[in-house]
C-alpha cells in the first residue's frame, strides 16, 4: 500500500509530537495548518514542510488529522470538509465522539487518538504509545491504522464509547497522579523541604505498575490499615488536603478489604 | 574514618534493599536479624552474612539499623538497647520520632530514613535516593550520614518534625498516585480495555516533574477549566470514583486559579 499523505491541522502539543514522529518515520506531514502563523511555522520548520494559516490554501492530501481544542473542532472540521471533500478527516480528541465529523460534513472520517500527555517543550517519541483508531468504515479505520503503525506497534481499534473511558482513565492516571505530586510539593515546601527528594519515589511508583497491577502495588498506611499513622497525618492537614487525604485513604482501605474478601 | 559495622535488625522490604545496597557498596551488614528465621536467612544469604533470630546472639557492631513495623519498633529497640548499650541504634520509620529510641533505653540513637517505596520483589538501588538522617548528637548524625554517603550523594539532615512531612508527602506522591493508577485500571477493565495502554502516560507524567514543578506540569480538563468535559466525566462515574473525581478536579481548578492570580 502506498504511504498516505497527511496534513496536520493544528500545531499544538499533540500535533507537535505527532509531526515530529511522522517526520522521524520518514513520512513528514505535507503541510501544517494553524490559526496563528507563528505556531504553524514553528512546527513546519521542525518537520520540514510548508506552514499555512488558511485552510483553503492547504495542499490536497489523503488524511487531514485535526488536533485542536475540543470547542474549536466542529468549526475547523467543517472548513476542512468543505475544502477537501474526498479526504479522510480524523480528530485526536479523547472525549469527542467520531460522529461530530459527520455532522461537520465529512464524508470519510475517523479518530486517531494517541494515549499520552503532550507538551510542546517535551517532544515524546511514539514508539511505546498506544494509538486508538476508529473509522467511519473498515477502509478508513485501516488507513488510519496504517499511519499509526508507522509510529508504534500498539495500534488498537476502539469505539467512541471505549475512547471516553480511555480519556477518563487518563485523567486519573495522569492528571490526578500529577495533582498528588503537587500536593506533596506543597506540603514539603511549606516545611523547608524540596520536592526533588520525591523524584526517585515518583519514578519507582510508576515503574512498579509495569510489572504489578496497581492493586498489588498499593502500599502505605491506608493499604495496611494503619489507623494510628492515618490519624496523625490527618491532624497535620487542613482544608482540601485533609479532605482529599481522608477520601483517598478510605478508598484504598475499602479496596484492600474487598480484595482480601475476594481472595478468601 | 573507619567504616562503621552495621547490623540490620529486620529483613523486610526496606531492609532488603538497604542490605543489598550496603553489600554492593562493599560494606555488607555484619549480621541480619529477623523474628522469622526464613526472612533472616533469605536476606543474609543475599548479602553474605550470618542470619540470627535472637537479638542477644547478634554480634557487636557500631550501628544497629532497626527496620521493622512501626508498632513492633519500641519492643525491638528495647531489646537491642539492653543487649548492646554502647552501639548506635537507628530506626528507618518516616512517622516515628527519634525520641522513641531514647524511651526504649538507647544511649546513642538516630534515624536513617531513605525516601523510597520498597518491596522485596524489586530491589531498588540507593544511588538516586535521598537519605534523611537525624542523630541524638552531631557525632551520631555524622556516623549515620557516613553510612548513607556510601550509598548515595543525597544525604540530608532532617528533624523528626521535617520527617513527618516527608512521610506524609510520600503518601501523596506514591500511595495516592498509585491509587489513581488503580482507579484508571478499574475504569478500563470494566470496559474491556487494559491498563497497559496507560504505561507510557504514567511514565511521562512521572518524567515531566523532573524538569517542571508539578504545578506547571498540570494538564487536563480541570486545569483548563473545561466544564463540559468534567460534567461528561462525572456523568460516567458513580460511587467513590465520582466523589474523588469531583474533589480532585475542584482542587486542581482552585490551584490553577490561585496561580493565575499570583501571576497577575
- What is the model's pLDDT at position B259? 86
Across the interface, of B116, B130, B204, the residue whose CB is closest to A117 is B204
What residue of B is the nearest CA neighbor of A224? Answer: B69
Do the chains contact at A247 and B251, CB–CB below 8 Å? no
My answer on whether B192 and B77 are in the same domain is: no
Do the chains contact at A221 and B187, CB–CB below 8 Å? no
- What is the model's pLDDT at position B30? 98
pLDDT in tens, B66-111: 999 999 999 999 999 999 999 999 999 998 999 999 999 999 999 9
Partners of residue A254 in chain B, C-beta under 8 Å = 240
My answer on whether B194 and B83 are in the same domain is: no
Partners of residue B247 in chain A, C-beta under 8 Å = 240, 243-244, 247
My answer on whether A50 and A36 are in the same domain is: yes
My answer on whether B10 and B90 are in the same domain is: yes
**Cβ neighbours of B236 (radius 10 Å):** 16
- CATH of residue A216: 1.10.1040.20
| Domain extent at residue A216 | 164-263
- What is the model's pLDDT at position A261? 85
Q: What proportion of chain A, given as a percentage, has pLDDT over 70?
A: 99
Q: What proportion of chain B, given as a percentage, has pLDDT over 90?
A: 93
**C-beta of residue B41 within 8 angstroms of C-beta of residue B16:** no
Flag whether pLDDT at B1 surpasses 70: no
Across the interface, of A117, A168, A214, the residue whose CB is closest to B205 is A117
**C-beta of residue A214 within 8 angstroms of C-beta of residue B178:** yes
Partners of residue A164 in chain B, C-beta under 8 Å = 232, 236
- CATH of residue B22: 3.40.50.720
CA distance A206 to A251: 20
Across the interface, of B196, B214, B232, the residue whose CB is closest to A178 is B214
Burial of residue A256 (number of CB atoms within 10 Å: 0-12, 13-18, 19+): middle
Give the closest-approach CA distance of A152 to chain B in angstroms: 12
Interface with chain A: mutation pick from B182, B231, B259, highest number of A CBs within 10 Å: B182
- What is the model's pLDDT at position A3? 81
3-state DSSP assignment of residue B85? coil
My answer on whether B178 and B150 are in the same domain is: no
Do the chains contact at A184 and B165, CB–CB below 8 Å? no
Flag whether pLDDT at A1 surpasses 80: no
- What is the model's pLDDT at position B2? 64
What residue of A is the nearest CA neighbor of B154? Answer: A197
Instruction: Give the residue carrying C-alpha cell 534523611.
Output: B132
Do the chains contact at A185 and B215, CB–CB below 8 Å? yes
Q: Is the ipTM of this complex over 0.90?
A: yes
Flag whether pLDDT at B263 surpasses 80: no
- What is the model's pLDDT at position A264? 66
Best CA proximity match to A87, nearest among A143, A34, A132: A143
Across the interface, of A95, A129, A233, the residue whose CB is closest to B168 is A233
Backbone φ and ψ for A215, nearest 5 degrees, come out as: -60, -40
My answer on whether A126 and A207 are in the same domain is: no
Flag whether pLDDT at A189 surpasses 90: yes
Flag whether pLDDT at A2 surpasses 80: no
Boundary (domain end) residue, out of A158, A179, A212: A158
Do the chains contact at A180 and B172, CB–CB below 8 Å? yes
Do the chains contact at B180 and A184, CB–CB below 8 Å? no
Quick one: which H or E segment has residue A177?
helix A177-189
Do the chains contact at B187 and A165, CB–CB below 8 Å? yes
My answer on whether A154 and A168 are in the same domain is: no
Do the chains contact at A129 and B200, CB–CB below 8 Å? yes
Boundary (domain end) residue, out of B137, B158, B179: B158
Flag whether pLDDT at A158 surpasses 90: yes
My answer on whether B119 and B184 are in the same domain is: no
Instruction: Give the residue carrying C-alpha cell 535488625.
Output: B9
pLDDT band at A262 (very low <50, low <70, confident <90, very high): confident
pLDDT in tens, A18-73: 999 999 999 999 999 999 999 999 999 999 999 999 999 999 999 999 999 999 99
Boundary (domain end) residue, out of B114, B142, B158: B158
Across the interface, of B169, B219, B233, the residue whose CB is closest to A168 is B233
My answer on whether A123 and A181 are in the same domain is: no
- For residues B150-175, give the mean pLDDT: 97
pTM (predicted TM-score): 0.94
pLDDT band at B3 (very low <50, low <70, confident <90, very high): confident
My answer on whether B213 and B138 are in the same domain is: no
Do the chains contact at A205 and B255, CB–CB below 8 Å? no
- For residues A171-196, give the mean pLDDT: 97
My answer on whether B139 and B253 are in the same domain is: no
Mean pLDDT of chain A: 95
- Domain tally, chain B: 2
Do the chains contact at A175 and B252, CB–CB below 8 Å? yes
Q: What is the DSSP string of B122-164?
A: BPPPSTT--EEEEESSHHHHHHHHHHHHHH-S-EEE--HHHHH
pLDDT in tens, B219-248: 999 999 999 999 999 999 999 999 999 999
My answer on whether A112 and A10 are in the same domain is: yes
Amino acid at each position: 500500500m502506498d504511504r498516505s499523505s497527511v496534513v496536520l491541522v493544528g500545531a499544538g502539543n499533540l500535533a507537535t509530537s505527532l509531526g515530529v514522529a511522522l517526520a522521524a518515520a520518514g513520512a513528514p506531514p505535507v503541510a501544517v495548518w494553524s490559526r496563528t502563523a507563528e505556531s504553524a511555522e514553528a512546527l513546519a520548520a521542525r518537520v520540514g514542510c510548508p506552514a499555512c494559516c488558511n485552510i483553503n490554501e492547504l495542499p490536497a492530501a489523503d488524511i487531514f488529522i485535526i488536533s485542536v481544542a475540543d470547542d474549536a473542532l466542529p468549526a475547523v472540521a467543517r472548513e476542512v470538509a468543505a475544502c477537501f471533500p474526498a479526504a479522510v478527516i480524523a480528530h485526536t480528541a479523547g472525549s469527542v465522539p467520531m460522529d461530530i465529523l459527520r455532522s461537520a460534513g465529512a464524508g470519510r472520517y475517523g479518530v486517531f487518538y494517541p494515549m499520552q500527555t503532550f507538551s510542546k517543550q517535551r517532544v515524546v517519541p511514539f514508539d511505546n504509545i498506544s494509538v486508538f483508531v476508529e473509522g467511519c468504515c473498515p477502509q478508513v479505520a485501516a488507513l488510519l491504522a496504517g499511519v499509526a503503525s508507522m509510529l508504534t506497534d500498539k495500534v488498537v481499534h476502539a469505539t467512541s464509547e471505549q475512547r471516553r473511558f480511555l480519556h477518563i482513565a487518563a485523567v486519573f492516571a495522569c492528571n490526578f497522579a500529577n495533582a498528588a505530586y503537587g500536593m506533596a510539593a506543597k506540603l514539603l515546601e511549606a516545611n523547608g523541604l524540596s520536592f526533588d527528594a520525591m523524584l526517585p519515589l515518583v519514578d519507582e511508583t510508576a515503574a512498579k505498575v509495569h510489572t504489578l497491577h496497581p492493586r498489588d502495588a498499593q502500599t502505605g498506611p491506608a493499604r495496611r490499615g494503619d489507623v494510628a499513622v492515618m490519624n496523625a497525618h490527618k491532624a497535620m492537614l487542613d482544608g482540601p488536603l485533609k479532605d482529599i487525604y481522608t477520601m483517598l485513604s478510605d478508598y484504598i482501605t475499602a479496596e484492600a478489604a474487598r480484595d482480601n474478601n475476594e481472595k478468601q
